[in-house]
Structure 1
Amino acid sequence: MDEDGRRLEGLVGRFSEGRKLKLLCEVEGGKPRPVVTWWRDKRLVDSNFSFVGDGTVARNWLEIDELKRSDFLSVLTCQAANNNGTVAVSRSITLDMNLIPLDVAIQPPRHPLSAGHPVELVCSSSGSRPPALLTWWKGGEQLLSAKEHQGGHEGTSSSVLLFTPRREDNGAVLSCRAENQFIQGSAIEEGWKLDVFYKPLVSLRLGQNLREDDIREGRDVYLDCEVDSNPPASEVTWLFEGTEVTTNTSAGVIVSSQSLVLQKVHRLRRGRYKCIAMNREGHGTSNVFMLRIKYAPVCKPDQKHIYGVSRHESVSVRCELEADPADVTFYWRFNSSSSGKRIDLASYSHALTRSMAIYSPLNADDFGFLLCWGANEIGKQQRPCNFTIVPAGPPEPVNNCSQVNGTEDSVSFECTEGFWDGGVAPVTYVAELREADSDRLVANASSSSGPAFSFSGLEGGATFRVFLYSANPKGHRSPVHFIVSTLRPAEKLT
């Protein structure tokens, strides 16, 4: 019987591997008094017994401190014998046991995984009785999506996990744990540190010790491209306004593996930057970093620089600057082209980077140059904007006139505008179409958009003389004239 007094016979248990087992064999009667012994597979294992009560009951306690795997299905026999020549009395039991798993393994062998790409992993274990419960773990988190199978041999089990690694899983430990649920502390596990390949995660920022709101023209600027990737990035590309940036030491541009250096940075380098990192898994693009470069005012390009005005009339001269910050203080000055006199203008309007001065020449000395410049917190403008004030007059004649198309009843022609519009707007272009032989006016038209005209409803196979001039409120100069013609029937102009 066991230590709780339950009678045992036949296949008994289940007892758990590693646990202590205590069995009692109790014999009553016998004369002379019997010897009570324990045997295992016909081998004596315990001969210590004692009598209790009035001496008619003999007891032998068999203690096994730790059950071994080899004890499974072993036969334990309690035997009572005396020396009177009678046959010994015995009872036998067979030990049924819960067994600890012997091994656990993960297939396929360890190799790098690719983020976002599922992989099938198989965990197998043997030696457990009953078959081991298999569980999957990632760090301290149990993964519950695995499918478990019992093997074809007793004590074997397997579990299939469809695992889709993420970038965050790189370096985590993935393990399979095999455990006999009936034996506390029986768990064994196989685990491996995940090597997860993933495309670069890229971040672009300003270099250390630099402030975004304090980058000034002429200083050195550093941009850092921070790349998180596995395997490491094989290539890093820098883009400025969508165009690749390469090293140009003469221009102060230095590209290294993960940094961009702009030495003595120019305002033309302000704008949008980003970096792209590549590895075998793909490429990653950083955030767009807007580089602001503060600079003193400069003239905005493509402004009108020549103004025509008559004496005792007024002209509005517009001055536009580029500056950062845009809070600009303006200055105006007139330089006479004839006498050399200089006059600082006190009256003008302005808003941020734009200013307007109204100028009225009274005599010949008042024609010359208006200078405009500005200053902001970064500094004073180095080169002022120069506007030429000249006496207003008719615009220059058009030039380069030619016929551009012709049919049996129509002609089209165009010219190039004259270089000087006379300094007075608007400019109007006037075209007269006359018969080449008789000089009879056939048609006329005007345009304020440019010296290009089309006339239709004309006689086929005819030749015409065009008179074309440009005019403004101050008048016009002599017209230019040239020949155009319509096609004869079945003729094509090429």
Structure 2
Amino acid sequence: MNNLKLKLRDIQRDQAGLYSCVASNIVGDGESDPLVLHVKYVPVCSSTLDQVLGAAKEDQVELVCRVDASPDRVTFRWYFRTPEQLVALDPKLSTAQDRSSVLNYRVVKDDDYGEVLCFAANDLGEQSVPCSFSVVPTREPDAPENCTLTNQTTDTLVVQCRPGYDGGLKQRFILEVFESVESAESVESYGDSEGDSRGVVTNVTVGEVPVFAVDDLQPGTSYFLVVYALNDQGASRRRHLHSFTLPTVPDHRTRLYPTHIFPITPILGVLIGVVGGLVVVAVVVVVVMKLRGESRRAKVLNQGPAGLKLPVPRPTTLQQHVKEAGGANSGPDLILCRPESSYEDVEDIPHKLKHANIYQSLPYNTNLPPSNTNSECCGCCDC
């Protein structure tokens, strides 16, 4: 770009088209009207690939030559290449329209098989690289290649392949679905001709592109697939694939509750309720029995022999001294007697026991000084 000019150098034909410029300021953008750039060039083939066509003897094939050119007013010339030279073909055998020409080529003898060339020219000149066609004897097509399963559901299969050489003729593609390998092998042993449907679950025929969609299959089933191509000269070799459909699963999309590993049936729910009730009853029984046992033990401790209520003895001076000196864990127990010689004032004691001595066990403190003979003691005890 230089000032308000755009300079293009080494122009190629793909640079032809519409050009416009855009100016911008703080208010916005403004765009100019488009200018058309026409790039002129000599004709070139629309397809850079060599076309292969098959023909049997006495057959006539159509060779279509398409070119791109500017200007698009184009003329065509056809040649047959021999090992020595290019032989011009009769212009009456071809027709031209716009930027294409069609040649009706007939094969009469073996020497007519070979390479046919198409040259196009416009006002700038003739194309330097012609469009090429190879006319070969027809034969059966090559088998499809790279066949793969692209989609598998519970009842559908999709198989996609790449086409092989068509044998010089228009071909079509067939997919056969067998329920077992044995049934497919029996068909192949019978012959490679189309129409033998023994053991075939279904078959699909397509045109130029070998992509097959098979439906209405059984869920969770294995299948044996056979793919091949077919033209007027015969069938190709067969490609084999093993496939299967997915098993059906329950539809849980409408469920509002989470799934469980083990489904809870009504019977299982009743059993769980019964077991839970028994566990609660057992716990209650154990707690009640434990409470009753503790109450009975406390009542026995508060009663003497034969259910007699024992009075709580009043602590003596020696008992207080022992408690202050060391407590219950200071040494062996001492058998001390009640200072009073009788229990006539105690209720619920039989008359014969009122003058008996009742003893109480107190801990012995080894740190006490030797007791005097003046210690309070009954005549029946050794102090």
- For residues 316 and 438 of structure 1, the distance between their equivalents in structure 2, rounded to whole angstroms, comes to 43
Counterpart in the other structure of 1:296: 42
Q: 1:366 and 1:437 mapped to 2: Cα distance?
A: 45
Q: What is the aligned partner in structure 1 of residue 168 from structure 2?
A: 423
Question: Structure 2 matches for 1:168-183, cutoff 5 A?
Answer: none
Instruction: Please tell me whether Structure 1 or Structure 2 has the larger radius of gyration of its CA atoms.
Output: 2
Q: Residues 397 and 417 of structure 1 are in contact (CA less than 8 Å); yes or no, is this contact kept in structure 2?
A: no
RMSD between aligned residues: 2.2
Asked whether 1:327 is paired with 2:73, we answer yes
Q: What amino acid does structure 1 have at the position aligned with 2:173?
A: Y
- Unaligned stretches of 5+ residues in structure 1: 1-254
Q: Do the aligned partners of residues 491 and 449 (structure 1) sit closer, same or farther apart at CA in structure 2, a change above 3 Å counting? A: farther
Q: Which of 236, 260, 274 does residue 20 from structure 2 map onto?
A: 274
The question of whether the paired residues in 1 share the 8 Å contact of 2:142 and 2:164 is answered with yes
SS at match of 2:126: coil
Aligned partner letter, 1:370:
V
Question: Would the aligned equivalents of 1:267 and 1:293 in 2 still touch at CA under 8 Å?
Answer: yes
The structural deviation recorded for 1:482 is: 0.7
Greater strand share, structure number: 1
The residue number in structure 2 matching 1:365 is 111
1:308-327 equivalences in 2 (<5 Å): 308-327=54-73
Q: What is the aligned length?
A: 234
Query: Do structure 1's residue 432 and structure 2's residue 176 form an aligned pair?
Result: yes
Q: Which residue of 2 aligns with 1:4?
A: none
Contact 2:13–2:39 (CA under 8 A) maintained in structure 1: yes
Q: 1:401 to 1:380 in 2, by over 3 A?
A: closer
- 2:63, 2:105 within 8 Å by CA — same for their partners in 1? yes
Write out per-residue CA displacement over residues 11-54 of structure 1, whole angstroms, 9 at most, x where no aligned residue.
Answer: xxxxxxxxxxxxxxxxxxxxxxxxxxxxxxxxxxxxxxxxxxxx
Aligned to 1:482: 241
CA contact (8 A) 2:150 2:160 kept: no
Whether the aligned pair in 2 keeps the contact of 1:271 and 1:292 (CA below 8 Å) is yes
How far residue 418 of structure 1 moved from its aligned partner, in angstroms, is: 2.3
Alignment correspondent of 1:145: none
Q: Cα gap change, 1:438/1:394 in structure 2, threshold over 3 Å: closer, same or farther?
A: closer
Change over 3 Å in CA distance of 1:376–1:479 after alignment to 2: same
Asked if 1:384 corresponds to 2:130, the answer is yes
1:455 corresponds in structure 2 to 214
1:397 aligned to 2:156? no
DSSP 3-state at the match of 2:7 = strand
AA aligned to 1:432 is E
Task: Note the C-alpha offset of 1:469.
Answer: 0.7
Identical columns (%): 28
1:413 matched residue in structure 2: 158
3-state SS, counterpart of residue 6 of structure 2: strand
Secondary structure of the residue that 2:230 maps to in structure 1?
A: strand
Measured after TM superposition, the shift of residue 263 of structure 1 is 1.9
Are 1:342 and 2:101 matched, yes or no? Answer: no
Letter in 2 for 1:267: R
1:398–1:415 contact (8 Å) kept in structure 2 = no
Question: Which structure is higher in RCO with an 8 Å CA cutoff and minimum separation 6?
Answer: 2
Measure how far apart 1:341 and its partner are.
4.8
Deviation at 1:261, TM superposition (A): 1.1
Tell me the equivalent position of 2:359.
Answer: none
More helix by share: 2
**What is the one-letter code of the residue matched to 1:429?**
F
Which consecutive residues of structure 2, in runs of 5 or more, have no partner in the other structure?
A: 184-198, 252-383
CA contact (8 A) 1:411 1:484 kept: no
TM-score, with length taken from structure 1: 0.44
Q: 1:353 to 1:474 in 2, by over 3 A?
A: same
Which residue of structure 2 lines up, in the alignment, with residue 306 of structure 1?
52
Deviation, structure 1 residue 297: 1.5
Secondary structure at the counterpart of residue 333 of structure 1: strand
Give the superposition deviation at 1:314: 0.8
Q: Please tell me the residue identity of whatever aligns with 1:373.
A: F
From 353, 362, 382, give the equivalent of 2:99: 353
Check the 8 A contact 1:399/1:415 in 2, yes or no: no
